[in-house]
């Protein structure tokens, strides 16, 4: 446990944010200096009397730019929304819960506009450079959170995950990202992207920090995270789609990870899951996410589309032509596929696959919309499985050995969040 005072750790985080040679100006868009200082002082005062509000008391935390803070405009990475000037009346539920747990909220982090790409680029507020290579993207949509955690601007970054927006930046930036079961954490006060798919989760440098933040945001009492024994753990290695077209780094690191898991006593089974192909076939016909996102932004796109990131606008506008009956049929098809995969997963503890099929692409490779969309699709492909099938998931960094970061994704059945975190803690320990 870090016994450094909250004020000292806050000062160190602010120094990283303020470093003119770093990414603070692009990663953390709003800095709450005075409020964070007051929260840190209050935490240290409690510590001196031997009292604590729990494991997050004094933790240095950032929140994504789509969470309401009372008295502020919630920008959601968009200058169009910022110009609308709608001020939040109260804090988002998760912000209320973090404050009540003693968390020191130091700032709001950058994101893809409307949380609508997995690349993490933002033409309005700048794109923070990847901590492993500043010429590369951080992953999104919780781009600022991934960079802030990796660069020690905070200890825990709170993001949202609709198609991988926590796990993608975690994978590309070399940190841990946890996507809880969708219904676990309330989204009240979080700017929506997809009402069916949105979830809220933490990024951090340890599974324990993610578990502590998740419990607070879920409104649960703190619990002790004990790593599950790896010997005998039933791990299904998803075949087919998640393993197609892996780049050289991921293609090397993933089999090495499986080998280490097997040597630790994990029981691997190789699972062919045709419902993944059914998911892709459905999404080629109609996107539930795009339909719901357009319902959020239809008026905005009618009046202010020119002010929106062109890549985001091009994806959003497709929702205009989705008929209600097609959307409803897609929702029903998805529910049937969710049930089918849940039934298959009864005989395994976790599914495993690469978090992303590739390492972080270079920003200068994404100038053409076609190239951007291709890279975006590859980054989102595997993580989307967790959202579409209503699972909980975590991305754990694999050993780098001088290469760019990449992650191992564990997925578990909906509602098995604590069990998944125990597995993740064991895998984290194995990989060091």
Q: Please list the active-site residues.
A: 64, 141, 165
Helices (H), 190-271: 207-217, 248-263
Distance (Å, rounded) from C-alpha 369 to C-alpha 411? Answer: 31
Retrieve residue 164's tokens: 């991988």
Q: What is the DSSP letter of 362?
A: B
| 8 A C-beta contact, residue 120 and residue 141 | yes
| 8 A C-beta contact, residue 171 and residue 407 | yes
Give the pairing of strands 104-109 and 60-64: parallel
State whether residue 230 is helix, strand or coil.
Answer: coil
Distance (Å, rounded) from C-alpha 131 to C-alpha 136? Answer: 9
CA distances from 173 to 14, 17, 155, 372, 379 (A): 20, 17, 14, 19, 13
Distance (Å, rounded) from C-alpha 34 to C-alpha 206? Answer: 28
**Bridge partners (DSSP) listed for residue 353:** 409
**Bridge partners (DSSP) listed for residue 130:** 133
Give the count of alpha carbons within 13 A of 386, CB side only.
37
| Residue 2 zone, left/alpha/beta (φ > 0; ψ -120 to 50; rest) | beta
Calculated CA dihedral for residues 203, 221, 199, 345, nearest 10 degrees: 100
Listed in order, strand segments (DSSP E) in 97-216 are 104-109, 156-160, 176-179, 200-204
State whether residue 19 is helix, strand or coil.
Answer: coil
CA R_g for the chain? 20
């Amino acid at each position: 446990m870090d016994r450094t005072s909250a004020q000292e750790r806050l000062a160190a985080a602010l120094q990283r944010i303020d470093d003119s040679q770093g990414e603070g100006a692009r990663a953390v868009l709003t800095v709450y200096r005075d409020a964070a200082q007051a929260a840190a002082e209050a935490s240290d005062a409690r510590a001196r009397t031997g009292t604590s509000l729990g494991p997050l008391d004094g933790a240095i935390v950032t929140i994504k730019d789509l969470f309401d803070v009372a008295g502020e405009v919630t920008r959601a990475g968009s200058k169009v929304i910022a110009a609308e000037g709608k001020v939040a009346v109260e804090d988002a539920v998760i912000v209320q819960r973090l404050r009540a747990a003693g968390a020191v909220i130091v700032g709001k982090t950058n994101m893809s506009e409307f949380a609508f790409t997995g690349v993490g680029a933002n033409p309005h507020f700048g794109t923070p450079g990847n901590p492993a290579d500043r010429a590369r993207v951080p992953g999104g949509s919780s781009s600022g959170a991934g960079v802030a955690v990796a660069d020690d601007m905070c200890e825990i970054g709170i993001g949202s995950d609709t198609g991988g927006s926590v796990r993608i930046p975690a994978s590309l930036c070399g940190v841990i990202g946890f996507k809880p079961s969708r219904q676990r954490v309330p989204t009240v006060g979080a700017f929506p992207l997809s009402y069916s798919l949105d979830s809220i989760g933490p990024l951090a440098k340890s599974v324990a920090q993610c578990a502590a933040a998740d419990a607070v945001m879920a409104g649960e009492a703190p619990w002790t995270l004990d790593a599950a024994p790896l010997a005998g753990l039933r791990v299904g290695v998803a075949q087919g789609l998640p393993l197609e077209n892996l780049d050289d780094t991921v293609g090397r690191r993933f089999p090495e990870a499986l080998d280490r898991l097997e040597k630790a006593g994990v029981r691997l089974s190789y699972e062919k899951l045709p419902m993944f192909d059914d998911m892709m076939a459905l999404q080629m016909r109609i996107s539930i996410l795009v339909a719901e996102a357009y319902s959020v932004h239809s008026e905005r796109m009618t009046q202010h589309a020119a002010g929106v990131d062109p890549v985001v606008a091009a994806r959003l506008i497709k929702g205009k032509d989705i008929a209600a009956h097609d959307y409803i049929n897609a929702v029903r098809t998805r529910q049937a596929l969710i049930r089918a995969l849940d039934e298959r997963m009864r005989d395994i503890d976790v599914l495993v696959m690469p978090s992303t099929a590739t390492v972080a692409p270079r920003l200068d490779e994404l100038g053409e919309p076609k190239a951007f969309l291709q890279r975006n699709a590859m980054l989102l492909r595997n993580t989307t499985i967790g959202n579409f099938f209503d699972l909980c998931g975590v991305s754990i960094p694999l050993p780098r050995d001088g290469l760019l970061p990449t992650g191992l994704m564990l997925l578990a059945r909906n509602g098995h969040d604590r069990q998944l975190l125990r597995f993740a803690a064991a895998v984290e320990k194995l990989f060091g």
